[in-house]
Amino acid sequence: MRTCHHAVRPNPQSPLSGPLPEGEGAKRIDPMKLKAFTVAASLFLSCTMASAETYDVVVYGGTSAGVVAAVQAKRMGKTAIIVEPGKHLGGLTSGGLGWTDSGNKAVIGGISREFYQRVKKYYDDPAAWQHEEAKGYSRYRPKDDAMWTFEPHVAELVYERMVNEQEIPVVREQRLDRKDGVKKEAERIVAITTVSGLTYRGRMFIDATYEGDLMAAAGVSYAVGRENNSQYDESLNGVQRRENIHSHRFVKKIDPYVVSGDSSSGLLPGVHGDPPGEEGQADHRVQAYCYRMCMSNVPRNRVPFPKPAGYEERRYELLLRNFEAGDLRFPMKPDMMPNGKTDTNNNCAFSTDNIGMNYDYPEASYKRRAEILREHETYQKGLMWTLANHRRVPEEIRQKMSAWGLPKDEFTDNGNWPHQIYVREARRMVSDYVATESDCRRVRVAEDSVGMGSYNMDSHNVQRYVTAEGYVQNEGDVQVSPGGAYVIGYRSIVPKQGECENLLVPVCLSSSHIAYGSIRMEPVFMVLGQSAATAAVLAIDDAVSVQNVAYTKLRERLLADKQALEWKGPAPRSVTRLNPKDLPGIVLDDESMERIGVWLPSASVGGFVGSRYWHDNNESQGEKSIRFKHRIKQAGEYEIRLSYTANPNRATNVLVEVQYGDQTKSVRVNQRKTPPIDEAFISLGKFSLSESSDFLVTISNANATGHVIADAVQLLPTR
């Protein structure tokens, strides 16, 4: 075994040498001692674990998926090692994302659910509540089996304990040599070598990174960016200008130029001058990244937001102009964690998402990635300082920001700043089975389930461009519910036949851009990490490639380990879609729609026309409407029908007005009742329409008694 003369051996009495205590005991672990031990252990392991020894499973990436994969391999009696490019375990889960995006929590099983159960056990100890009482935090429920919101350091402690219990070696700050660091014999990876020259041999390999570096270096097919809708018969992929909802776009007319009104002065930072692309068109762009910043509102545990070195005021000129134009929305989403802390996410037109500044990150060199990360950190720190201090920020916003700062007791080795950026999407493997929108909607169901997803098909904004009218706008934000839980197939986490027979990829799995938007949740990554490790062990035991693992055996073991492979509760809501091309007459859908006010897209309740319907979120009654306008080419009598999806939360008195010629007809629609015509349409009446005349159908939320739905309008000639 290769050793280093300066290696420091871990202290057997270290707090990480045995099971970590829960609650109060865990609180007694000195963060500085923990850091010192981590560095010492990393030095020792980096020198001693890289050897001629061959591990059964080599996990590259100590993300949530990577930790779970290694734990599962050890529990199944195999040797495993985690090679982590950074310093910390847990990836984004320990890096600030404490507000678990989960959808249907009933389909989170196995070690993934065990993690959240361990979090709950931690907070069951009164000593865990340092800055507030447990009874004052609404998401701590003593009778629940698991807890889904948590502080970053708690997540990291849980992961460290899981690894320590299984005596899994972890080597840190060892980055893969992406050019020459993957040694293959035929279709098998034999070993990986890091930039520092250390080599780790394995029988099976799992790429658990957010970037997919091992997958790419091994010669596996992958994609970056958005596919054209036509490639996989989708509706939410590619450029999505229509889908871009008001809550994350500019709702005021904001000038994008350095000198307002002067296009020759150049564009402000973050805005590009190219056309945004046609609806549904493929492009190279990647949805925006941000740090899921942890903030504190506890005075004794917060430090002021620092003004970063390299701060440039013009970087925030769009934000300041947006405030001055009257958009006074609070530009972030701080969700409360225990002890007066937050998981802070992007919100509104200009926020923590650094739109358009990450396109080259997925395939960039390590040096270039470091530059991108520094730019993102400077941008986000500068944003927080601006909101808290800048004279052009409205007083009410500055006052609200005055309650917040960075927590003194989080990320103590990184200036209280998260160590992990939110890589919402990087490379995506292209395997023999690509998960798509059809899988999320259960139009297609994989027969080799290894886990389930259920969260929205969620893409953050992808670009910031100049509209034809000369104003700035965001594009790419999509938030559409799949309508229930769906399965993720085994073939989506293994490469194509013939590319690599001993590699599994549970994070950068085979998926289209929009399907990945739903799959890319931390609980799901943990589920898939466990399934990947299980398959790796079975491949070893049966001496087969990962592509040829017997699914019956895999399924049996996954179920025995309490993985959820199908939804056994009430049937998911139908997400039946009506194709406008299959409907008679003239159908007016999104392309004929003008939205006034903030409307949100959805696909949760089936029976809608096209890819989605829109709702007013039961807010701002009297301020929102949707209009369908059409010019009649042939005079005659037409029946005009309205489509909506019925549900008990709908309004009973939706005002619909039909304007034709100089006449107006008003109709009140009870949207809690299923539409009588094919359970999709209700008739608004028959109208005599003249050639070359315009008619207008307006749906309003004035005085509405619930959610107002707008979907489509149909014109049927009656004679």
pLDDT of residue 569: 76
567 is a domain residue: no
List, in sequence order, the alpha helices (H) in 9-151. 23-27, 31-48, 64-75, 110-124
Give the CATH number, domain containing residue 709: 2.60.120.260
CATH code of the domain covering residue 218: 3.50.50.60
- Does residue 404 fall inside a structural domain? no
Query: Is residue 32 included in any domain, yes or no?
Result: yes
Q: Which of 522, 519, 528 lies closest to 494, judged by CA? A: 528
Q: Do 547 and 584 fall into the same domain? A: no
Among 522, 511, 478, smallest CA distance to 149 is for 522
**pLDDT value of residue 40:** 52
Q: Which of 372, 389, 381 is nearest to 417 (CA)?
A: 381
Query: Residue 472 in contact with residue 256, Cβ under 8 Å?
Result: yes
Could you tell me if residue 460 is inside a domain? no
553 and 631 co-located in one domain: no
Supply the pLDDT for residue 25.
39
Q: CB–CB of 106/569 below 8 Å?
A: yes
* pLDDT tier, 535 (very low <50, low <70, confident <90, very high otherwise): very high
Q: What's the pLDDT tens digit per position in 378-423?
A: 999 999 999 999 999 999 999 999 999 999 999 999 999 999 999 9
Residues in the chain, overall count? 719
**523 & 602 share domain:** no
Q: Are residues 67 and 111 in the same domain?
A: yes
pLDDT, tens digit, 9 for 90 and up, residues 468-482: 999 999 999 998 888
Inform me whether the pLDDT recorded for 243 exceeds 70: no
Residues 493 and 632 in one domain: no
**pLDDT value, residue 484:** 87
Do 547 and 594 lie in a common domain? no
- Do 508 and 598 lie in a common domain? no
Residues 6+ away with beta carbon under 8 Å from 64: 90, 91, 92, 93, 94, 115, 159, 522, 525, 526, 529
Give the residue from 560, 585, 613 where a domain finishes: 560
Does a structural domain hold residue 683?
A: yes
Measure the CA–CA gap between 116 and 141, rounded to whole angstroms: 13
Of 560, 585, 615, which residue sits at a domain end?
560
Phi, psi of 595 (to 5 degrees): -100, 130
415 Rama sector, left if φ>0, alpha if ψ -120 to 50, beta otherwise: left
Task: Give yes or no: residues 95 and 213 share one domain.
Answer: yes
On whether residue 316 sits in a domain, the answer given is no
Nearest Cα neighbor of 181 from 214, 219, 212 is 214
d(CA 433, CA 551): 15
**Residue 191: pLDDT over 80:** yes
Q: Which of 71-85, 309-323, 459-473, 586-600 has the lowest mean pLDDT?
A: 586-600
The span from the CA of 92 to the CA of 74, in Å, is 23
> Which is it for the CA torsion 180, 62, 286, 250, positive or negative?
negative
**Environment class of 64 (CB within 10 Å of its CB; exposed 0-12, middle 13-18, buried 19+):** buried
Which range marks the domain in which residue 656 is found?
577-717
The number of domains in the chain is: 2
Residue 682, in any domain of the structure:
yes
Instruction: Classify 204 in phi/psi space as left (phi over 0), alpha (psi -120 to 50) or beta.
Output: beta
Q: Using the 8-state DSSP alphabet, how is residue 63 labeled?
A: B
Whether residue 628 sits in one domain with residue 539: no
CA distance 316 to 351: 10
Judged by average pLDDT, the poorest of 289-293, 528-532, 649-653 is 649-653
Q: Which among 621, 601, 623 has a CA at the least distance from the CA of 611?
A: 601
Radius of gyration of the chain (CA): 27
Q: What is the pTM of this model?
A: 0.80
Residue 40 neighbours by CB under 8 Å, 6+ apart: 8, 9, 10, 11
Show the 3-state SS of 149-216. Answer: ECCHHHHHHHHHHHHHHCCCCEEECCCECCCCCEEEECCEEEEEEECCCCEEEEEEEEECCCCCHHHH
Q: How do beta strands 188-193 and 199-207 pair? A: antiparallel
Distance CA 337, CA 174 (A): 32
pLDDT in tens, 613-668: 999 988 889 999 999 999 998 899 999 999 999 988 899 999 999 999 889 999 99
CB-CB contact of 624 with 708 (8 Å)? yes
Q: What mean pLDDT do residues 702-717 have?
A: 94
Structure tokens at 317: 């000129």
**4 pLDDT higher than 50:** no
Query: What does the pLDDT read at residue 41?
Result: 52
Q: What is the pLDDT of residue 210?
A: 98
Residue type, 447: E
Could you give the percent of the chain with pLDDT greater than 70?
A: 91
- Contact in structure between 625 and 698 (CB atoms under 8 Å): yes
Distance CA 672, CA 707 (A): 10
613 and 537, same structural domain?
A: no
pLDDT for the residue numbered 37: 53
Residues 140 and 186 in one domain: yes
Let me know whether 44 and 189 are in one domain.
yes
Q: Is residue 547 part of a domain?
A: yes
Q: What is the DSSP letter of 510?
A: S
Q: Which of 560, 585, 620 is the last residue of a domain?
A: 560
pLDDT band at 575 (very low <50, low <70, confident <90, very high): low
